Chains A and B, each alone.
Chain A
Amino acid sequence: MITGFLALYIFMLAAFTGYEIIGRVPVILHTPLMSGSNFVHGIVLVGAMVALGHADTPIEIAIGVVAVLLAAGNVAGGYVVTERMLEMFKASKPASSQPAERKQ
Protein backbone atom coordinates (compact mmCIF):
# COMPACT_ATOMS: atom_id res chain seq x y z
CA MET A 1 0.00 0.00 0.00
CA ILE A 2 1.47 3.29 -1.06
CA THR A 3 0.57 6.20 1.15
CA GLY A 4 1.05 9.96 1.19
CA PHE A 5 4.70 10.77 1.47
CA LEU A 6 5.96 7.51 0.02
CA ALA A 7 3.91 8.30 -3.08
CA LEU A 8 5.35 11.79 -3.15
CA TYR A 9 8.88 10.35 -3.08
CA ILE A 10 8.07 7.97 -5.90
CA PHE A 11 6.56 10.80 -7.95
CA MET A 12 9.60 12.97 -7.32
CA LEU A 13 12.22 10.34 -8.17
CA ALA A 14 10.38 9.20 -11.29
CA ALA A 15 10.05 12.80 -12.43
CA PHE A 16 13.79 13.39 -12.04
CA THR A 17 14.51 10.20 -13.93
CA GLY A 18 12.35 11.30 -16.83
CA TYR A 19 13.91 14.74 -16.84
CA GLU A 20 17.46 13.33 -16.86
CA ILE A 21 16.77 10.82 -19.61
CA ILE A 22 15.42 13.40 -22.03
CA GLY A 23 18.01 15.99 -21.13
CA ARG A 24 20.82 14.02 -22.80
CA VAL A 25 19.01 13.10 -25.98
CA PRO A 26 20.33 14.56 -29.25
CA VAL A 27 17.77 16.55 -31.21
CA ILE A 28 17.82 14.00 -34.01
CA LEU A 29 16.10 11.54 -31.70
CA HIS A 30 13.43 13.84 -30.31
CA THR A 31 10.64 12.60 -32.53
CA PRO A 32 11.33 8.89 -31.95
CA LEU A 33 11.74 9.60 -28.26
CA MET A 34 8.44 11.43 -28.02
CA SER A 35 6.93 8.44 -29.74
CA GLY A 36 8.81 6.11 -27.41
CA SER A 37 7.55 7.87 -24.30
CA ASN A 38 4.11 7.76 -25.89
CA PHE A 39 4.51 3.98 -26.01
CA VAL A 40 5.67 3.81 -22.39
CA HIS A 41 2.54 5.49 -21.06
CA GLY A 42 0.70 2.72 -22.86
CA ILE A 43 1.18 0.93 -19.50
CA VAL A 44 -2.23 2.47 -18.91
CA LEU A 45 -3.47 -0.76 -20.51
CA VAL A 46 -2.60 -2.58 -17.29
CA GLY A 47 -4.75 -0.15 -15.34
CA ALA A 48 -7.55 -0.41 -17.87
CA MET A 49 -7.48 -4.20 -17.50
CA VAL A 50 -7.67 -3.91 -13.71
CA ALA A 51 -10.58 -1.47 -13.97
CA LEU A 52 -12.47 -3.69 -16.40
CA GLY A 53 -11.52 -6.82 -14.46
CA HIS A 54 -13.29 -5.48 -11.39
CA ALA A 55 -16.22 -3.83 -13.15
CA ASP A 56 -19.67 -5.14 -12.23
CA THR A 57 -22.49 -3.04 -13.65
CA PRO A 58 -23.06 -2.70 -17.42
CA ILE A 59 -22.00 0.96 -17.41
CA GLU A 60 -18.74 0.12 -15.62
CA ILE A 61 -18.09 -2.70 -18.05
CA ALA A 62 -18.84 -0.47 -21.04
CA ILE A 63 -16.46 2.27 -19.91
CA GLY A 64 -13.89 -0.37 -18.94
CA VAL A 65 -14.04 -1.89 -22.42
CA VAL A 66 -13.53 1.55 -23.94
CA ALA A 67 -10.54 2.06 -21.65
CA VAL A 68 -8.98 -1.28 -22.63
CA LEU A 69 -9.63 -0.68 -26.33
CA LEU A 70 -8.05 2.78 -26.29
CA ALA A 71 -5.10 1.66 -24.16
CA ALA A 72 -4.43 -1.36 -26.39
CA GLY A 73 -4.38 1.01 -29.36
CA ASN A 74 -1.92 3.27 -27.54
CA VAL A 75 0.44 0.39 -26.75
CA ALA A 76 0.43 -1.27 -30.16
CA GLY A 77 0.49 1.92 -32.20
CA GLY A 78 3.15 3.51 -30.05
CA TYR A 79 5.40 0.48 -30.38
CA VAL A 80 5.03 -0.01 -34.13
CA VAL A 81 5.56 3.63 -34.97
CA THR A 82 8.60 4.03 -32.70
CA GLU A 83 10.19 0.82 -33.90
CA ARG A 84 9.69 1.82 -37.53
CA MET A 85 11.37 5.15 -36.99
CA LEU A 86 14.30 3.79 -35.03
CA GLU A 87 15.13 0.95 -37.38
CA MET A 88 15.97 3.52 -40.04
CA PHE A 89 18.81 5.16 -38.14
CA LYS A 90 22.04 3.86 -39.57
CA ALA A 91 25.61 5.13 -39.56
CA SER A 92 27.57 5.35 -42.78
CA LYS A 93 30.68 3.84 -41.23
CA PRO A 94 30.77 0.84 -38.91
CA ALA A 95 29.64 2.07 -35.53
CA SER A 96 32.90 3.80 -34.67
CA SER A 97 32.26 7.48 -35.19
CA GLN A 98 30.36 9.51 -32.63
CA PRO A 99 28.35 11.92 -34.73
CA ALA A 100 25.84 14.51 -33.62
CA GLU A 101 25.76 12.99 -30.18
CA ARG A 102 25.56 16.01 -28.03
CA LYS A 103 23.13 18.89 -27.54
CA GLN A 104 21.42 19.87 -24.35
Chain B
Amino acid sequence: MTLPTWMPTIVEAIYFIAAVLFIWGLKRMSSPRTARTGIVWAGAGMAAAIIVTFFLPGMHNLDWMVGAIVIGVVLSWIVGRRVPMTAMPQMVALFNGMGGGAAAAIGAVELIKFNAALKLVPDTSPIQPEAWADVVGHLGTTELVLAFVGVLIGAVSFTGSLIAFAKLQGWMDRRFVFPLQRWVNLAIFAVAVVCGALALAAGIEGHAFAWGLLIGFIVLSLVFGIAMTLPIGGADMPVVISMYNAFTGLAVAFEGFVLQNEAMIIAGMVVGAAGTLLTQLMAKAMNRSLGNVLFGNFGAGGGAAQQEIAGALKPIDASDAAVMMAYAERVAIVPGYGMAVAQAQHKIWEFAKLLIERGVKVKFAIHPVAGRMPGHMNVLLAEAGVPYDLIADMDDINPEFPNTDVALVIGANDVVNPVARTDKSSPIYGMPILDVAKAKNVIVIKRGRGKGFAGIENALFYADNTRMLYGDGQAAASELVAGLKTLDV
Protein backbone atom coordinates (compact mmCIF):
# COMPACT_ATOMS: atom_id res chain seq x y z
CA MET B 1 0.00 0.00 0.00
CA THR B 2 2.69 2.48 0.99
CA LEU B 3 4.92 3.21 -1.94
CA PRO B 4 8.52 4.36 -1.63
CA THR B 5 8.91 8.13 -1.90
CA TRP B 6 11.06 7.86 -5.02
CA MET B 7 8.26 6.13 -6.91
CA PRO B 8 6.76 9.28 -8.48
CA THR B 9 10.22 10.12 -9.86
CA ILE B 10 10.47 6.69 -11.47
CA VAL B 11 7.02 7.18 -12.97
CA GLU B 12 8.01 10.58 -14.35
CA ALA B 13 11.17 9.07 -15.84
CA ILE B 14 9.23 6.28 -17.55
CA TYR B 15 6.75 8.82 -18.93
CA PHE B 16 9.67 10.74 -20.36
CA ILE B 17 11.10 7.62 -21.99
CA ALA B 18 7.65 6.77 -23.34
CA ALA B 19 7.33 10.21 -24.93
CA VAL B 20 10.75 9.75 -26.58
CA LEU B 21 9.74 6.31 -27.84
CA PHE B 22 6.49 7.65 -29.32
CA ILE B 23 8.33 10.29 -31.32
CA TRP B 24 11.07 7.84 -32.29
CA GLY B 25 8.47 5.25 -33.27
CA LEU B 26 6.49 7.67 -35.42
CA LYS B 27 9.75 8.75 -37.04
CA ARG B 28 10.59 5.16 -37.94
CA MET B 29 7.11 4.74 -39.38
CA SER B 30 8.04 7.30 -42.00
CA SER B 31 9.99 4.76 -44.05
CA PRO B 32 8.63 1.42 -45.26
CA ARG B 33 11.76 -0.45 -44.18
CA THR B 34 11.73 0.67 -40.57
CA ALA B 35 7.99 1.17 -40.12
CA ARG B 36 7.40 -2.20 -38.52
CA THR B 37 9.93 -1.64 -35.74
CA GLY B 38 8.52 1.86 -35.24
CA ILE B 39 5.17 0.63 -33.98
CA VAL B 40 6.90 -1.93 -31.77
CA TRP B 41 9.03 0.78 -30.11
CA ALA B 42 5.99 2.98 -29.58
CA GLY B 43 4.14 -0.03 -28.19
CA ALA B 44 6.93 -0.73 -25.70
CA GLY B 45 6.80 2.87 -24.50
CA MET B 46 3.05 2.65 -24.12
CA ALA B 47 3.17 -0.59 -22.13
CA ALA B 48 5.77 0.85 -19.77
CA ALA B 49 3.78 4.06 -19.25
CA ILE B 50 0.61 2.12 -18.49
CA ILE B 51 2.29 -0.22 -16.02
CA VAL B 52 4.03 2.49 -13.99
CA THR B 53 0.78 4.45 -13.73
CA PHE B 54 -0.47 1.80 -11.29
CA PHE B 55 2.33 2.89 -8.94
CA LEU B 56 1.38 6.54 -8.73
CA PRO B 57 0.62 7.58 -5.16
CA GLY B 58 -2.96 7.59 -3.93
CA MET B 59 -4.46 5.42 -6.67
CA HIS B 60 -7.58 3.52 -5.71
CA ASN B 61 -10.42 1.73 -7.52
CA LEU B 62 -7.73 -0.62 -8.81
CA ASP B 63 -10.17 -3.53 -9.22
CA TRP B 64 -12.40 -1.45 -11.49
CA MET B 65 -9.35 -0.22 -13.33
CA VAL B 66 -7.89 -3.63 -14.07
CA GLY B 67 -11.29 -4.97 -15.07
CA ALA B 68 -11.97 -2.13 -17.50
CA ILE B 69 -8.50 -2.39 -19.03
CA VAL B 70 -8.77 -6.14 -19.54
CA ILE B 71 -12.21 -5.90 -21.13
CA GLY B 72 -11.27 -2.97 -23.37
CA VAL B 73 -7.99 -4.52 -24.49
CA VAL B 74 -9.39 -7.99 -25.16
CA LEU B 75 -12.40 -6.77 -27.14
CA SER B 76 -10.40 -4.36 -29.28
CA TRP B 77 -7.64 -6.89 -29.81
CA ILE B 78 -10.07 -9.48 -31.12
CA VAL B 79 -11.87 -7.01 -33.38
CA GLY B 80 -8.60 -5.53 -34.62
CA ARG B 81 -7.21 -8.97 -35.46
CA ARG B 82 -10.25 -10.19 -37.34
CA VAL B 83 -11.26 -7.21 -39.39
CA PRO B 84 -10.39 -7.40 -43.11
CA MET B 85 -7.90 -4.96 -44.59
CA THR B 86 -10.58 -3.26 -46.66
CA ALA B 87 -12.26 -2.20 -43.43
CA MET B 88 -9.18 -0.50 -41.96
CA PRO B 89 -10.45 3.09 -42.36
CA GLN B 90 -13.54 2.52 -40.26
CA MET B 91 -11.48 0.69 -37.65
CA VAL B 92 -9.20 3.69 -37.31
CA ALA B 93 -12.34 5.83 -36.94
CA LEU B 94 -13.75 3.56 -34.25
CA PHE B 95 -10.58 3.38 -32.15
CA ASN B 96 -10.01 7.08 -32.58
CA GLY B 97 -13.53 7.81 -31.36
CA MET B 98 -12.88 5.73 -28.26
CA GLY B 99 -9.80 7.81 -27.50
CA GLY B 100 -11.77 11.03 -27.92
CA GLY B 101 -14.49 9.72 -25.64
CA ALA B 102 -11.92 8.79 -23.03
CA ALA B 103 -10.40 12.28 -23.13
CA ALA B 104 -13.84 13.85 -22.75
CA ALA B 105 -14.66 11.52 -19.85
CA ILE B 106 -11.41 12.44 -18.07
CA GLY B 107 -12.35 16.10 -18.39
CA ALA B 108 -15.83 15.36 -17.09
CA VAL B 109 -14.47 13.56 -14.00
CA GLU B 110 -12.07 16.39 -13.22
CA LEU B 111 -14.77 19.03 -13.63
CA ILE B 112 -17.20 17.08 -11.46
CA LYS B 113 -14.58 16.78 -8.72
CA PHE B 114 -13.76 20.45 -9.01
CA ASN B 115 -17.39 21.51 -8.79
CA ALA B 116 -18.18 19.11 -5.97
CA ALA B 117 -15.28 20.60 -4.01
CA LEU B 118 -16.53 24.12 -4.67
CA LYS B 119 -20.00 23.21 -3.47
CA LEU B 120 -18.54 22.37 -0.08
CA VAL B 121 -17.12 25.87 0.23
CA PRO B 122 -19.58 28.41 1.61
CA ASP B 123 -20.40 30.75 -1.24
CA THR B 124 -19.23 33.92 0.41
CA SER B 125 -18.79 37.12 -1.40
CA PRO B 126 -16.26 38.60 -1.91
CA ILE B 127 -14.55 35.28 -2.60
CA GLN B 128 -11.78 34.10 -0.37
CA PRO B 129 -9.34 32.24 -2.56
CA GLU B 130 -7.45 30.78 0.40
CA ALA B 131 -10.67 29.18 1.62
CA TRP B 132 -11.10 27.00 -1.42
CA ALA B 133 -7.56 26.77 -2.74
CA ASP B 134 -6.69 23.45 -1.11
CA VAL B 135 -10.04 21.75 -1.62
CA VAL B 136 -10.03 22.62 -5.26
CA GLY B 137 -6.48 21.43 -5.78
CA HIS B 138 -4.50 22.40 -8.82
CA LEU B 139 -7.24 23.53 -11.18
CA GLY B 140 -6.30 27.11 -11.93
CA THR B 141 -7.80 29.25 -14.68
CA THR B 142 -5.70 27.74 -17.48
CA GLU B 143 -6.45 24.20 -16.39
CA LEU B 144 -10.17 24.96 -16.17
CA VAL B 145 -10.29 26.47 -19.64
CA LEU B 146 -8.36 23.54 -21.12
CA ALA B 147 -10.54 21.03 -19.27
CA PHE B 148 -13.65 22.51 -20.88
CA VAL B 149 -12.11 22.81 -24.33
CA GLY B 150 -10.78 19.25 -24.06
CA VAL B 151 -14.23 17.94 -23.17
CA LEU B 152 -15.76 19.75 -26.14
CA ILE B 153 -13.19 18.54 -28.67
CA GLY B 154 -13.04 15.02 -27.25
CA ALA B 155 -16.83 14.68 -27.24
CA VAL B 156 -17.13 15.90 -30.84
CA SER B 157 -14.38 13.50 -31.89
CA PHE B 158 -16.13 10.66 -30.04
CA THR B 159 -19.59 10.87 -31.59
CA GLY B 160 -18.30 12.19 -34.91
CA SER B 161 -15.93 9.25 -35.30
CA LEU B 162 -18.70 6.81 -34.43
CA ILE B 163 -20.88 8.28 -37.18
CA ALA B 164 -17.93 8.09 -39.59
CA PHE B 165 -17.46 4.44 -38.58
CA ALA B 166 -21.15 3.68 -39.16
CA LYS B 167 -21.07 5.33 -42.58
CA LEU B 168 -17.95 3.54 -43.80
CA GLN B 169 -19.23 0.27 -42.40
CA GLY B 170 -22.30 0.74 -44.58
CA TRP B 171 -24.74 1.04 -41.69
CA MET B 172 -25.72 4.55 -42.76
CA ASP B 173 -25.67 4.91 -46.50
CA ARG B 174 -27.32 8.24 -47.03
CA ARG B 175 -26.09 11.68 -46.30
CA PHE B 176 -28.52 13.11 -43.83
CA VAL B 177 -29.49 16.60 -44.91
CA PHE B 178 -32.38 18.91 -44.12
CA PRO B 179 -33.09 22.59 -44.71
CA LEU B 180 -31.29 25.12 -42.50
CA GLN B 181 -29.07 22.32 -41.25
CA ARG B 182 -26.05 24.57 -41.06
CA TRP B 183 -27.94 26.97 -38.79
CA VAL B 184 -29.27 24.20 -36.60
CA ASN B 185 -25.74 22.83 -36.19
CA LEU B 186 -24.43 26.29 -35.44
CA ALA B 187 -27.17 26.76 -32.83
CA ILE B 188 -26.29 23.46 -31.13
CA PHE B 189 -22.65 24.47 -31.03
CA ALA B 190 -23.43 27.95 -29.74
CA VAL B 191 -25.66 26.70 -26.92
CA ALA B 192 -23.01 24.14 -25.94
CA VAL B 193 -20.36 26.85 -25.80
CA VAL B 194 -22.63 29.17 -23.79
CA CYS B 195 -23.33 26.42 -21.23
CA GLY B 196 -19.61 25.70 -20.98
CA ALA B 197 -18.67 29.37 -20.75
CA LEU B 198 -21.19 30.09 -17.98
CA ALA B 199 -19.92 27.15 -15.94
CA LEU B 200 -16.34 28.14 -16.65
CA ALA B 201 -16.88 31.75 -15.63
CA ALA B 202 -18.41 30.64 -12.32
CA GLY B 203 -15.57 28.19 -11.75
CA ILE B 204 -12.90 30.80 -12.34
CA GLU B 205 -14.62 33.10 -9.87
CA GLY B 206 -14.57 30.34 -7.33
CA HIS B 207 -18.33 29.74 -7.31
CA ALA B 208 -19.89 26.35 -7.82
CA PHE B 209 -21.89 26.12 -11.04
CA ALA B 210 -25.22 24.39 -11.61
CA TRP B 211 -24.85 20.73 -12.61
CA GLY B 212 -27.30 21.39 -15.43
CA LEU B 213 -24.76 23.64 -17.14
CA LEU B 214 -22.09 20.93 -17.14
CA ILE B 215 -24.53 18.24 -18.26
CA GLY B 216 -25.92 20.50 -20.99
CA PHE B 217 -22.41 21.31 -22.15
CA ILE B 218 -21.36 17.67 -22.41
CA VAL B 219 -24.58 16.42 -23.98
CA LEU B 220 -24.70 19.20 -26.56
CA SER B 221 -21.04 18.66 -27.44
CA LEU B 222 -21.84 15.01 -28.10
CA VAL B 223 -24.88 15.96 -30.18
CA PHE B 224 -22.84 18.46 -32.15
CA GLY B 225 -20.35 15.74 -33.14
CA ILE B 226 -23.23 13.73 -34.61
CA ALA B 227 -24.90 16.70 -36.29
CA MET B 228 -21.66 17.86 -37.85
CA THR B 229 -20.81 14.47 -39.35
CA LEU B 230 -24.26 13.41 -40.59
CA PRO B 231 -24.35 15.56 -43.75
CA ILE B 232 -20.85 14.52 -44.90
CA GLY B 233 -20.70 11.95 -47.70
CA GLY B 234 -18.72 8.71 -47.63
CA ALA B 235 -16.13 9.94 -50.12
CA ASP B 236 -15.06 12.71 -47.78
CA MET B 237 -14.89 10.50 -44.70
CA PRO B 238 -11.10 9.92 -44.78
CA VAL B 239 -10.48 13.64 -44.41
CA VAL B 240 -13.00 13.82 -41.60
CA ILE B 241 -11.51 10.83 -39.77
CA SER B 242 -8.07 12.35 -40.06
CA MET B 243 -9.43 15.59 -38.63
CA TYR B 244 -11.04 13.79 -35.70
CA ASN B 245 -7.74 12.00 -35.16
CA ALA B 246 -6.12 15.41 -34.74
CA PHE B 247 -9.01 16.49 -32.49
CA THR B 248 -8.50 13.52 -30.19
CA GLY B 249 -4.79 14.31 -30.04
CA LEU B 250 -5.56 17.87 -28.96
CA ALA B 251 -8.15 16.77 -26.42
CA VAL B 252 -5.62 14.34 -24.94
CA ALA B 253 -2.98 17.07 -24.75
CA PHE B 254 -5.40 19.48 -23.02
CA GLU B 255 -6.63 16.92 -20.50
CA GLY B 256 -2.99 15.96 -19.98
CA PHE B 257 -2.36 19.53 -18.94
CA VAL B 258 -5.29 19.38 -16.53
CA LEU B 259 -3.82 16.23 -14.97
CA GLN B 260 -0.26 17.63 -15.19
CA ASN B 261 0.78 14.57 -17.15
CA GLU B 262 3.66 15.35 -19.51
CA ALA B 263 3.41 12.13 -21.54
CA MET B 264 -0.17 12.96 -22.45
CA ILE B 265 0.69 16.55 -23.31
CA ILE B 266 3.52 15.62 -25.65
CA ALA B 267 1.96 12.56 -27.29
CA GLY B 268 -1.37 14.36 -27.71
CA MET B 269 0.17 17.47 -29.19
CA VAL B 270 2.40 15.53 -31.60
CA VAL B 271 -0.67 13.66 -32.86
CA GLY B 272 -2.70 16.86 -32.98
CA ALA B 273 -0.14 18.56 -35.22
CA ALA B 274 0.60 15.50 -37.33
CA GLY B 275 -3.09 14.84 -37.80
CA THR B 276 -3.72 18.42 -38.86
CA LEU B 277 -1.03 18.23 -41.53
CA LEU B 278 -2.25 14.82 -42.69
CA THR B 279 -5.78 16.21 -42.97
CA GLN B 280 -4.54 19.05 -45.17
CA LEU B 281 -2.58 16.65 -47.38
CA MET B 282 -5.62 14.45 -47.83
CA ALA B 283 -7.95 17.33 -48.59
CA LYS B 284 -5.44 18.63 -51.12
CA ALA B 285 -5.14 15.24 -52.79
CA MET B 286 -8.91 15.17 -53.19
CA ASN B 287 -9.01 18.74 -54.45
CA ARG B 288 -11.29 19.76 -51.62
CA SER B 289 -10.81 22.41 -49.02
CA LEU B 290 -11.54 21.38 -45.47
CA GLY B 291 -14.31 23.95 -45.30
CA ASN B 292 -15.85 22.47 -48.40
CA VAL B 293 -15.73 18.97 -46.92
CA LEU B 294 -17.35 20.09 -43.69
CA PHE B 295 -19.92 22.55 -44.96
CA GLY B 296 -20.39 21.86 -48.66
CA ASN B 297 -22.39 19.10 -50.26
CA PHE B 298 -20.57 17.41 -53.11
CA GLY B 299 -22.31 17.30 -56.43
CA ALA B 300 -25.61 18.54 -54.91
CA GLY B 301 -27.37 20.06 -57.85
CA GLY B 302 -24.43 20.25 -60.27
CA GLY B 303 -23.96 18.34 -63.46
CA ALA B 304 -26.41 20.20 -65.63
CA ALA B 305 -23.82 22.21 -67.52
CA GLN B 306 -21.28 19.46 -68.05
CA GLN B 307 -19.84 18.91 -71.49
CA GLU B 308 -21.18 16.08 -73.58
CA ILE B 309 -18.66 13.36 -74.18
CA ALA B 310 -18.36 12.20 -77.77
CA GLY B 311 -17.38 8.69 -78.84
CA ALA B 312 -18.43 5.17 -78.07
CA LEU B 313 -17.42 2.54 -75.57
CA LYS B 314 -15.31 -0.12 -77.34
CA PRO B 315 -15.28 -3.52 -75.67
CA ILE B 316 -12.40 -6.01 -75.70
CA ASP B 317 -12.31 -9.60 -74.51
CA ALA B 318 -9.95 -10.90 -71.89
CA SER B 319 -7.73 -13.07 -74.12
CA ASP B 320 -7.06 -10.16 -76.51
CA ALA B 321 -6.29 -7.93 -73.58
CA ALA B 322 -3.89 -10.53 -72.16
CA VAL B 323 -2.06 -10.82 -75.48
CA MET B 324 -1.80 -7.07 -75.77
CA MET B 325 -0.07 -6.85 -72.39
CA ALA B 326 2.04 -9.96 -72.89
CA TYR B 327 3.79 -8.34 -75.83
CA ALA B 328 4.01 -4.88 -74.31
CA GLU B 329 7.22 -3.45 -72.97
CA ARG B 330 5.77 -1.38 -70.16
CA VAL B 331 2.48 -1.97 -68.38
CA ALA B 332 1.04 0.25 -65.66
CA ILE B 333 -1.67 -1.23 -63.48
CA VAL B 334 -3.99 1.39 -61.99
CA PRO B 335 -6.04 -0.10 -59.19
CA GLY B 336 -8.94 1.61 -57.46
CA TYR B 337 -11.15 0.77 -54.55
CA GLY B 338 -13.36 -1.26 -56.89
CA MET B 339 -10.55 -3.80 -57.19
CA ALA B 340 -10.44 -4.23 -53.43
CA VAL B 341 -14.21 -4.56 -53.21
CA ALA B 342 -14.04 -7.34 -55.82
CA GLN B 343 -11.13 -8.88 -53.85
CA ALA B 344 -9.22 -9.00 -57.15
CA GLN B 345 -5.83 -7.84 -55.82
CA HIS B 346 -4.44 -11.37 -55.45
CA LYS B 347 -5.42 -12.32 -59.01
CA ILE B 348 -4.06 -9.07 -60.38
CA TRP B 349 -0.75 -9.66 -58.64
CA GLU B 350 -0.67 -13.20 -60.06
CA PHE B 351 -1.24 -11.70 -63.49
CA ALA B 352 1.46 -9.08 -62.92
CA LYS B 353 3.94 -11.76 -61.85
CA LEU B 354 3.30 -13.71 -65.08
CA LEU B 355 3.92 -10.52 -67.06
CA ILE B 356 7.15 -9.87 -65.16
CA GLU B 357 8.30 -13.42 -65.91
CA ARG B 358 7.81 -12.63 -69.59
CA GLY B 359 10.06 -9.59 -69.24
CA VAL B 360 7.35 -6.94 -69.18
CA LYS B 361 8.11 -3.98 -66.95
CA VAL B 362 5.11 -3.73 -64.63
CA LYS B 363 4.34 -0.94 -62.20
CA PHE B 364 1.38 -0.20 -60.02
CA ALA B 365 0.26 3.42 -60.26
CA ILE B 366 -1.44 4.68 -57.13
CA HIS B 367 -3.46 7.83 -56.83
CA PRO B 368 -3.12 9.51 -53.42
CA VAL B 369 -6.77 8.90 -52.63
CA ALA B 370 -7.06 5.45 -54.18
CA GLY B 371 -8.84 3.25 -51.70
CA ARG B 372 -10.57 5.04 -48.91
CA MET B 373 -7.65 6.81 -47.30
CA PRO B 374 -4.32 7.96 -48.67
CA GLY B 375 -2.12 4.90 -48.61
CA HIS B 376 -5.01 2.48 -48.16
CA MET B 377 -4.45 0.99 -51.62
CA ASN B 378 -0.80 0.37 -50.77
CA VAL B 379 -1.89 -1.59 -47.74
CA LEU B 380 -4.30 -3.66 -49.83
CA LEU B 381 -1.62 -4.38 -52.45
CA ALA B 382 0.90 -5.19 -49.73
CA GLU B 383 -1.60 -7.66 -48.31
CA ALA B 384 -1.71 -9.38 -51.70
CA GLY B 385 2.09 -9.60 -51.66
CA VAL B 386 2.98 -6.82 -54.09
CA PRO B 387 6.44 -5.51 -53.12
CA TYR B 388 6.38 -1.80 -52.35
CA ASP B 389 9.12 -0.97 -54.85
CA LEU B 390 6.77 -1.84 -57.72
CA ILE B 391 4.29 0.72 -56.46
CA ALA B 392 4.62 4.23 -57.83
CA ASP B 393 3.13 7.48 -56.58
CA MET B 394 1.14 9.70 -58.87
CA ASP B 395 3.93 12.27 -59.24
CA ASP B 396 6.46 9.58 -60.17
CA ILE B 397 4.37 7.68 -62.66
CA ASN B 398 2.57 10.51 -64.45
CA PRO B 399 5.56 11.48 -66.64
CA GLU B 400 5.93 7.82 -67.60
CA PHE B 401 2.46 7.30 -69.04
CA PRO B 402 3.34 8.50 -72.58
CA ASN B 403 5.97 5.72 -72.69
CA THR B 404 3.61 3.14 -71.27
CA ASP B 405 2.29 0.63 -73.78
CA VAL B 406 -0.73 -0.50 -71.81
CA ALA B 407 -2.40 1.03 -68.79
CA LEU B 408 -4.70 -1.46 -67.09
CA VAL B 409 -7.34 0.34 -65.03
CA ILE B 410 -9.21 -1.82 -62.56
CA GLY B 411 -11.88 -0.46 -60.27
CA ALA B 412 -10.67 3.14 -60.57
CA ASN B 413 -12.81 5.81 -62.13
CA ASP B 414 -12.78 9.43 -60.98
CA VAL B 415 -9.03 9.45 -60.32
CA VAL B 416 -8.29 8.70 -63.99
CA ASN B 417 -10.97 10.94 -65.49
CA PRO B 418 -9.35 13.48 -67.84
CA VAL B 419 -12.40 15.70 -67.37
CA ALA B 420 -10.67 16.86 -64.19
CA ARG B 421 -8.16 18.62 -66.45
CA THR B 422 -10.42 19.76 -69.27
CA ASP B 423 -13.95 20.53 -68.15
CA LYS B 424 -14.25 23.53 -65.89
CA SER B 425 -17.89 22.83 -65.13
CA SER B 426 -17.14 19.40 -63.73
CA PRO B 427 -17.27 19.01 -59.95
CA ILE B 428 -13.92 17.23 -60.04
CA TYR B 429 -12.26 19.93 -62.15
CA GLY B 430 -8.77 20.63 -60.80
CA MET B 431 -8.43 17.37 -58.90
CA PRO B 432 -5.01 15.86 -59.58
CA ILE B 433 -5.42 12.71 -61.68
CA LEU B 434 -3.33 9.89 -63.05
CA ASP B 435 -2.60 10.67 -66.71
CA VAL B 436 -3.75 7.27 -67.86
CA ALA B 437 -5.28 8.76 -71.02
CA LYS B 438 -1.75 9.51 -72.27
CA ALA B 439 -0.75 5.85 -72.35
CA LYS B 440 -0.58 4.23 -75.80
CA ASN B 441 -3.37 1.82 -74.95
CA VAL B 442 -5.79 1.73 -72.07
CA ILE B 443 -7.75 -1.26 -70.87
CA VAL B 444 -10.47 -0.62 -68.33
CA ILE B 445 -11.89 -3.46 -66.29
CA LYS B 446 -15.36 -2.45 -65.19
CA ARG B 447 -18.41 -4.25 -63.96
CA GLY B 448 -20.96 -2.24 -65.88
CA ARG B 449 -21.56 1.07 -67.53
CA GLY B 450 -22.25 2.97 -64.30
CA LYS B 451 -20.66 6.23 -63.27
CA GLY B 452 -17.99 6.71 -60.63
CA PHE B 453 -18.32 7.58 -56.97
CA ALA B 454 -18.80 11.24 -57.84
CA GLY B 455 -21.46 10.38 -60.42
CA ILE B 456 -19.55 11.88 -63.33
CA GLU B 457 -19.15 10.44 -66.83
CA ASN B 458 -15.59 9.37 -67.51
CA ALA B 459 -14.16 10.70 -70.78
CA LEU B 460 -11.33 8.17 -70.58
CA PHE B 461 -13.75 5.32 -71.30
CA TYR B 462 -14.76 6.92 -74.60
CA ALA B 463 -11.23 7.70 -75.81
CA ASP B 464 -9.97 6.15 -79.05
CA ASN B 465 -7.16 4.24 -77.38
CA THR B 466 -9.39 2.80 -74.65
CA ARG B 467 -10.93 -0.67 -74.63
CA MET B 468 -13.46 -1.79 -72.06
CA LEU B 469 -13.16 -5.22 -70.46
CA TYR B 470 -16.52 -5.79 -68.83
CA GLY B 471 -16.85 -8.10 -65.89
CA ASP B 472 -16.42 -8.52 -62.18
CA GLY B 473 -12.87 -7.55 -61.18
CA GLN B 474 -11.89 -10.94 -59.88
CA ALA B 475 -13.38 -12.89 -62.78
CA ALA B 476 -11.81 -10.56 -65.33
CA ALA B 477 -8.41 -10.89 -63.65
CA SER B 478 -8.73 -14.69 -63.67
CA GLU B 479 -9.53 -14.59 -67.37
CA LEU B 480 -6.46 -12.44 -67.98
CA VAL B 481 -4.30 -14.97 -66.12
CA ALA B 482 -5.84 -17.80 -68.13
CA GLY B 483 -5.25 -15.82 -71.32
CA LEU B 484 -1.57 -15.46 -70.54
CA LYS B 485 -1.18 -19.12 -69.65
CA THR B 486 -2.55 -20.28 -73.01
CA LEU B 487 0.16 -18.24 -74.73
CA ASP B 488 2.87 -20.34 -73.12
CA VAL B 489 1.52 -23.70 -74.26
Contact = CB atoms under 8 A, between A and B. Distances in A.
Interface of A: 1-4, 7, 10-11, 14-19, 21-57, 59-61, 63-93, 95, 97, 99-104
15 contacts: A22-B30, A28-B32, A29-B30, A32-B35, A33-B375, A36-B38, A45-B69, A47-B264, A48-B102, A51-B259, A52-B65, A70-B105, A80-B81, A82-B39, A85-B88
A77 B389 contact: no
Top 9 A-B residue pairs of the complex, sorted by shortest distance between their CB atoms: A72-B72, A92-B387, A18-B273, A80-B80, A53-B59, A14-B269, A77-B76, A67-B105, A30-B375
B53 A71 contact: no
Nearest to A85: B379
Contact of A90 (B253, B257, B379, B387): B387
A92 B71 contact: no
Interface size class, chain B: 35 or more
B73 interface: yes
B391 A100 contact: yes
B62 A53 contact: yes
Contacts of B106: 44, 47-48, 51, 67
Contacts of B88: 31, 35, 81, 85
A80 B73 CA distance: 10
B269 to A, nearest CB: 4
A82 B232 CA distance: 26
Contact of B382 (A44, A55, A89): A89
The dominant DSSP class at the B interface is: helix
B25 A28 contact: no
The dominant DSSP class at the A interface is: helix
Given A27-B374, A72-B69, A81-B95, 7 more contacts: A38-B248, A44-B264, A51-B109, A67-B105, A74-B95, A75-B50, A92-B390
Interface string B64-104: 11001111111111011101010011011011101101110
A72 B25 CA distance: 20
B298 to A, nearest CB: 21
B281 A90 contact: no
Contacts of A49: 50, 53-54, 59, 65, 69
Contact of B68 (A37, A69, A77): A69
A12 B375 CA distance: 28
